[in-house]
Structure 1
């Protein structure tokens, strides 16, 4: 393929083209900055930077690059804690500030992973919103030089039986399934949560993980004056224009086309080709720097690459290959069309680069050149329409220290302790009620639509506590390693509503624990922080407390934040969602053959509860399901106990002491026992002698896990627990066809399964 694609360029300039010269000659011309989401002081600052009014193309760049989504202008002052409080980590290779974090997993291999939101597009157009959320996070992983190997998704919807949920959820699941399955990426885990607070504002958080050699990391940078700037992948169209700002339709008044689609349209087959093309480009070593085109499209890729390189770039915007030749420069800059990448290539390598793109049938066009001018200059058929310092758009956006204060009703909410609620007499009925409730019922209706085992490297997948993948055979040269990686995402909006500091820590603790119960050592964190409007001081207090809690917990557990996403303005009208920090944890296991399966795996094994149980029901599933209650305080986050528990679980797995494991979280011990029975259809008989049976079964105290060991391993395991000061309680044995709690309840496993699996098919068909 030549350096210019067959389809390129837009309309030739006309008398209304807003050039830099025209901007200098018409300083008082009104511009639609407010319609583009900019405040007056932000617009005035752009004028100060440029010494004139911006052209319409420059305004397009600054409006999207200074948007909340791209600049983190309301969150940046709080997110800095993830750096200042970061624990020392020998594993961290690339941290925050790049497209995705990278960690060393041993044997010369590295893993890169990240989670991001696609909430609002998924409400507007569920299928495409969710599908392009998957596509976008996959390209983040590609841009680090890695092969994407798996995805996960953390989903939250309104009440399961609400009309809005029945509209949105099937489309979201279909979009995730379609895009991921077409790419051949296994979906190995995640969450599906229902709560009325998400009506009108679902959360669709997508995670991707990839593998690469640790010495082959790629970065988003444009060094070397004279190097070529290549746009490759799908053609640029009108879809997604302004998606990163508030733009949805009429962008530039009568100069713009109305009804531009605000939600991107994905093509997973093009993305599959793009993945393979990128991997061959990396193997040929013909890429100096690379950036995916996601939020803010060409605006983001050019400004960020230039700002991180030698400081300048000249771009011929009329060379951008278009699906719609009527697009104006502003629209090209703001388009978020999918499946596009931008690379920096030396002149000596450009022919080899183009040849590889041609092999994979990927359109590729040289649209510019790296300079050392310190300016990003764009032309349109010879006319200069952009001339800015790129760092002012990419790095020097506004930073707000927004006011925040505790919500007015927070004290009353915390004082409303669930201890006042009537406790059930029939614990058998309570177990079944919880087990069949939408949040705790089987998610097989959802997950069966995803391919969990494509590529053949999935070791564990949902409903296991974490996804586990082997490295061998995923990448050339990896056959010699026995290593694998484990991933989990977790979050609890009710906990965070009661106490955002503790809620964020509990989200991390659960994800950390879910990785540990597989036998993997937790290494690093990615997060997706979903909140209401940052202009609401009460929401901003929730955000400040959650980020502080998460940073403190990462330091205590020794797992650094490698990157992630902040999603603000998640609310219906003036009512925000519950603060919902979703935390992903990645761990490494030295030998995937020693991974621990979830639940009870055979008869005649000892069942052991690790950790102490307190009377903790604030934000619990029992209070939510049985009473529709939210109040009190969430469970205590004991991070020292969590770390000790993790050490016991990983060491026991490496020594082959465990036959099965399962974390305790929502629904407490009762749900953990039921799910453990359902894993392989193995019953159990346990005793809660000396405990309040209701508290013992349904409390949601943290830092607990349920494990099974062969009788001959019990003594060695008990000694290991004692060495780490982890409480260890023998509950009973596996076997039989029922879940039996002596003197309390007895439920056949068949009844557990019927109750557990009927709910979502009954609602969604």
Structure 2
């Protein structure tokens, strides 16, 4: 693609150069109507990135309006860098989850690293100190060299950035499926802490105020990254130039400098230069304030020689922030950045005229109404068509898979990479930085103490995309419910969520239907569970060779522990404790891990979920935890009850279990029915606990010997050594990474 300011507007129209930038004929025509003239090359590029799916949400915006976004404890919902939730004591948590899928598919190390850097800037630009990082990753099965390389490099990239900046990576999830073979998903989440009166916004208010550029210099890396992330990756010519390069050392200095700046009365607004770089930050800040911005590109710190306006405006070089500062107080801000060894310079001013005016070499190289780039970006109501497979799956009878040896099947399930221990992944992360991590990676939810306070937050990421593929609406409900279940198991009350909505090509009506229905399910569950959607990200076009990924709307959720006494482990704690199963088990194997093991495919109905029942069980369990009657709690998820019991005993304390169940053995052990928990209770608290729970059934006890013993209908169906099971579970992923095709 040509990147030359000398390309004439007539040539852009005649040769349809705008198509290479991502604009359709219809959109280019709209640009001409807005400007009342032909756009020049730089302006065409600016429109193309701002009207890309990645920046404008032009196909998803009508669906996103369905989300519940308000509640008394929501201080800031969608629309800023991140959402803000009140946690009492004049404190708030700021959090957001965002994808970096396309860059990570092409350049996994840099793509993952800059994904962490970008979401960090979204959070600290709100005035919040980052206190925790999580991630949610999806890869193909670990049977090819490429997938093993992708996993290794993505994890290395996350660790390389996160460990240097001193923010603990406290949790996350990794799942594996053929659906992600060509298109891995890399979603990063950051949580920050801020006082109510120091929450910042990205606005360019106050005519005459100064625009300041701070951070790393601008290079040619990441140009057109937003449009690159808004289209299908071309397998024949993957575009590595669209992947920006991060520098965590600069990132750490930038965090410290910006957090100090937020306490200055001179600061008016601050925003990360994320997707679309200078273009998006400046135009969005002006549009939100109802003002305009004029910038002189000669003042922009440049890493490379002879960069033209197009390159400077569309670069996505990392570690850069844009600030608006009160006129006359610029030096105070510049001095703070200088103290932290961060470059900062004045590059423009806020103007009354609502236009985005860019100058270079004493010439106006772009002059665009700001609202045309933001508020007036195209919005498309896409056609939706029920997926052809859905009706057939709904008509299938729920059936029980044939299992000959339940002990052998449990061993197989524990070695499935989606279920197996992710210790190989998270041992590469620094999870104890800042010294407030109470519960780190490997638990249902991470728990981070609020420094110096008798309270903590619980954080989780979750999504079972197989369910959403089979039944998008039901699966969307389950994604929110399971995230909330994880939070409750840790002893916290769920407060709010952020989403990472990962889908295929929205111009395919069946893909758009998956998105539409799953958002319906997420919205319903968010409303009933009182966890509003306060921030998020949409990632489209995740497909290759005409095959889409499974619809994967990641749910990142935060909850509050009112006291550290409520923090609850997910492993059994003592021999002779009573084990309960909360909830009912049905013949539900559609999208299950057992179906994957036995049939290597997914079909049938997803598990059903009753959100009223889910809400009741979560409320009752949380009340029991707060009353001190619960020793441990763990949700029943992939692999069913047998896997949940095994995970609950994998804590190195030498415990075993003796379990007595009734009914069909395969269903009892491996069904993935929803709204279920495995809980352990001291014998002395048995009556109190049972009085608080409507749906808890005693199913066994924790034993001193390390034997996993399960009887069903008085017949022994599993008798395994816990240490052997634990070894299989722990070593599965390292062994797969060592093997060669």
Shorter-chain TM-score above 0.5: yes
CA distance in 2, matches of 1:667, 1:260: 38
**Residue of structure 2 in register with 1:454 after alignment:** 433
CA shift digits 1:120-177 (9 cap, x unpaired) = 1101011000000011111110111101111111110011112320221111010001
CA distance in 2, matches of 1:728, 1:453: 37
CA distance in 1, matches of 2:366, 2:137: 40
Matched, 1:306 2:286: yes
CA distance in 2, matches of 1:665, 1:187: 23
Matched, 1:638 2:623: no
Matched, 1:155 2:137: yes
**Residue of structure 2 in register with 1:442 after alignment:** 421
Rate the CA distance shift 1:259–1:419 in 2: closer, same or farther, 3 A: closer
Compute the displacement of 1:411 (Å): 2.1
Rate the CA distance shift 1:349–1:214 in 2: closer, same or farther, 3 A: same
SS in 1 for 2:20: coil
- TM-score, with length taken from structure 2: 0.95
Q: What CA RMSD, in Å, does the superposition of the two structures yield over aligned residues?
A: 2.0
CA shift digits 1:13-38 (9 cap, x unpaired) = 99x657xxx86x99966551100011
Alignment of 1:78-117 (within 5 A): 78-83=63-68, 86=69, 89-117=71-99
Rate the CA distance shift 1:420–1:733 in 2: closer, same or farther, 3 A: closer
More deviation in 635-644 or 681-690? 681-690
CA contact (8 A) 1:241 1:248 kept: no
CA contact (8 A) 1:418 1:631 kept: no
**Residue of structure 2 in register with 1:222 after alignment:** 204
Q: Could you tell me which of 686, 697, 714 is aligned with 2:669? A: 697
Compute the displacement of 1:259 (Å): 8.3
CA distance in 1, matches of 2:550, 2:528: 25
Alignment of 1:494-505 (within 5 A): 494-505=466-477
Q: Could you tell me which of 698, 701, 707 is aligned with 1:732? A: 701
CA contact (8 A) 1:600 1:680 kept: no
Q: Could you tell me which of 347, 352, 363 is aligned with 1:383? A: 363
**Residue of structure 2 in register with 1:675 after alignment:** 647
Matched, 1:33 2:2: no
Compute the displacement of 1:350 (Å): 0.9
Alignment of 1:200-349 (within 5 A): 200-246=182-228, 261-349=241-329
CA distance in 2, matches of 1:67, 1:691: 54
SS in 2 for 1:662: strand
Compute the displacement of 1:735 (Å): 3.0
SS in 1 for 2:170: strand
CA distance in 2, matches of 1:653, 1:108: 26
CA distance in 2, matches of 1:458, 1:573: 43
CA shift digits 1:523-569 (9 cap, x unpaired) = 00111111110111110110111111111111111110011011110
CA distance in 2, matches of 1:139, 1:27: 35
SS in 1 for 2:225: coil
Matched, 1:427 2:400: no
CA distance in 1, matches of 2:561, 2:42: 49
**Residue of structure 1 in register with 2:234 after alignment:** none
SS in 2 for 1:744: strand
CA shift digits 1:305-355 (9 cap, x unpaired) = 110114211111221101002211101111000000001100232111011
Compute the displacement of 1:229 (Å): 0.4
CA shift digits 1:611-664 (9 cap, x unpaired) = 111111110001101221311111112211221222123222222211111111
More deviation in 113-122 or 680-689? 680-689
Rate the CA distance shift 1:583–1:28 in 2: closer, same or farther, 3 A: closer
CA distance in 2, matches of 1:406, 1:280: 52
CA distance in 2, matches of 1:628, 1:309: 53
CA shift digits 1:691-738 (9 cap, x unpaired) = 2222111111111111111111111111111xxx34443433343211
**Residue of structure 2 in register with 1:745 after alignment:** 718
Rate the CA distance shift 1:659–1:680 in 2: closer, same or farther, 3 A: farther
CA distance in 2, matches of 1:686, 1:143: 52
**Which runs of 5 or more structure 2 residues have no equivalent in the other structure?**
232-237
Rate the CA distance shift 1:41–1:126 in 2: closer, same or farther, 3 A: same
Count of equivalent residues: 726
CA distance in 1, matches of 2:408, 2:400: 20
CA contact (8 A) 1:498 1:632 kept: yes
**Residue of structure 1 in register with 2:62 after alignment:** 77
**Residue of structure 2 in register with 1:536 after alignment:** 508
CA contact (8 A) 1:239 1:260 kept: no
Compute the displacement of 1:80 (Å): 0.6
CA shift digits 1:275-304 (9 cap, x unpaired) = 000111112333210110110000101110
**Residue of structure 2 in register with 1:507 after alignment:** 479
Matched, 1:650 2:622: yes
Compute the displacement of 1:589 (Å): 0.6
Rate the CA distance shift 1:177–1:418 in 2: closer, same or farther, 3 A: farther
Matched, 1:358 2:335: no
CA distance in 2, matches of 1:756, 1:49: 60
CA contact (8 A) 1:37 1:247 kept: no
CA shift digits 1:396-438 (9 cap, x unpaired) = 11111111101223222344456164x1121111111101111
Compute the displacement of 1:183 (Å): 0.9
Q: Could you tell me which of 483, 490, 494 is aligned with 1:518? A: 490
CA distance in 2, matches of 1:670, 1:618: 17
SS in 2 for 1:528: strand
CA distance in 2, matches of 1:549, 1:148: 31
CA distance in 2, matches of 1:420, 1:286: 66
SS in 2 for 1:746: strand
Rate the CA distance shift 1:455–1:27 in 2: closer, same or farther, 3 A: closer
CA contact (8 A) 1:664 1:705 kept: yes
SS in 1 for 2:709: strand
CA distance in 1, matches of 2:65, 2:514: 16
Compute the displacement of 1:260 (Å): 7.6
CA contact (8 A) 2:54 2:230 kept: no
**Residue of structure 1 in register with 2:352 after alignment:** 372
CA distance in 2, matches of 1:69, 1:183: 26
SS in 2 for 1:245: helix
CA shift digits 1:555-613 (9 cap, x unpaired) = 11111001101111001121101111111111011112430011112212111111111
CA contact (8 A) 1:248 1:261 kept: no
CA distance in 2, matches of 1:44, 1:629: 46
CA distance in 1, matches of 2:691, 2:444: 25
Matched, 1:47 2:19: no
CA distance in 2, matches of 1:462, 1:296: 33
CA distance in 1, matches of 2:133, 2:706: 35
